[in-house]
Amino acid sequence: MLSPVPKHANWNSSRQTQNQKNRLTRAKPPSKPLLPAPKHASWSSSRLTQNQKNRLTRAKRQLLRLSPAFRPKKPLSKRL
């Protein structure tokens, strides 16, 4: 009984193999979300993109440059 016409209307085309049909019907979305949003902003997080990391490090450097409290104290001999 190999009839070329499918008995029931199916969203899968009749030309697809059983394997392909199985793959299509059994395909599941990933169980875990791929990139969950971090709850707290973190300086060194593997989830941050390279661009975000660069921006954060630049912001850090500017902060260090601007505020004298964070600036490392130089020895007096080097200043004179």
Per the domain annotation, does 58 fall within a domain?
yes
Q: Looking at residue 25, what DSSP letter applies?
A: H
Q: How many domains does the chain have?
A: 1
3-class DSSP state for residue 41? coil
Distance CA 21, CA 36 (A): 31
Give tens-digit pLDDT for 7-26: 655 555 555 566 666 666 66
Exposure string over 6-31, b if 16+ CB within 10 A, otherwise e = eeeeeeeeeeeeeeeeeeeeeeeeee
What domain range includes position 64? Answer: 46-71
Residue 54 has pLDDT above 80, yes or no: yes
pTM exceeds 0.85, yes or no = no
